[in-house]
Amino acid sequence: MFLQTEIKVFSNRTQLPVKEADLLNVAHEAANHAYAPYSHFKVGAAVLLKNGHIVSGNNQENAVYPIGMCAERVALFYAAAQFPETPIEKIAITAIGNEKELCQPVPPCGSCRQAILEYETKFGKPIEIIMSGEKGEVYIAKSAAELLPLSFTEIFLEK
Ligand code: THU
């Protein structure tokens, strides 16, 4: 027996369903306004909530490098702060590369996977993760658990 993970691959953005393509456009728009003076890697994320609201975010860097924050968590935490009782359905992630065009999908970092997973656990619903570069293939994972197998969740903390 094997534990397996599944990612859906689209050859480019035009192959995406409308809802996913629209969310990715919002993420791209957010990436344009990222504050990334150190890495020059501008990331955008857009979160779709069950109530139809879309909340976007982008990476926020700092002269004290480690305190900067990824686009995904900026968007997720803002969504969770504004709509604490509303489940999150999807998150789209993209980036604008430094100098050369980004031709591969941008996956969330490990910390962001863990953060997405927290809201999956909170609401008991999977959060679809849409990953894209500026062009080329787009990946969709049906949940954070799919991108973070064998994850640590609240079940280990239950008394
Ligand atoms: N970054 C994100 O915003 N999201 C990711 O998933 C990967 C990395 C940001 C953090 C930092 O501002 C820059 O990209 C370079 O690591």
Does the C-beta of 41 come closer than 6 Å to ligand 1? yes
Distance CA 111, CA 73 (A): 9
- Atom nearest to 36 CA in ligand 1: 12
* Tens digit of each residue's pLDDT, the chain (159 residues): 998 999 999 999 999 999 999 999 999 999 999 999 999 999 999 999 999 999 999 999 999 999 999 999 999 999 999 999 999 999 999 999 888 899 999 999 999 999 999 999 999 999 999 999 999 999 999 999 999 999 998 889 987
d(CA 115, CA 119): 7
| d(C-alpha 47, C-alpha 53), whole Å | 8
The residue nearest atom 3 of ligand 1, judged by CA position, is 70
CA of 69 relative to ligand 1 center, distance in Å: 7
Q: Is the pTM of this model over 0.85?
A: yes
* 72 counts as catalytic: yes
Out of 20, 61, 72, 120, which one is annotated catalytic? 72
- For the record, the structure tokens of 139 come out as 């990946």
Among 9, 71, 68, CA closest to 46: 71
Please say whether the beta carbons of 120 and 144 come within 8 A: yes
Distance from C-alpha of 140 to C-alpha of 85, rounded to nearest angstrom: 25
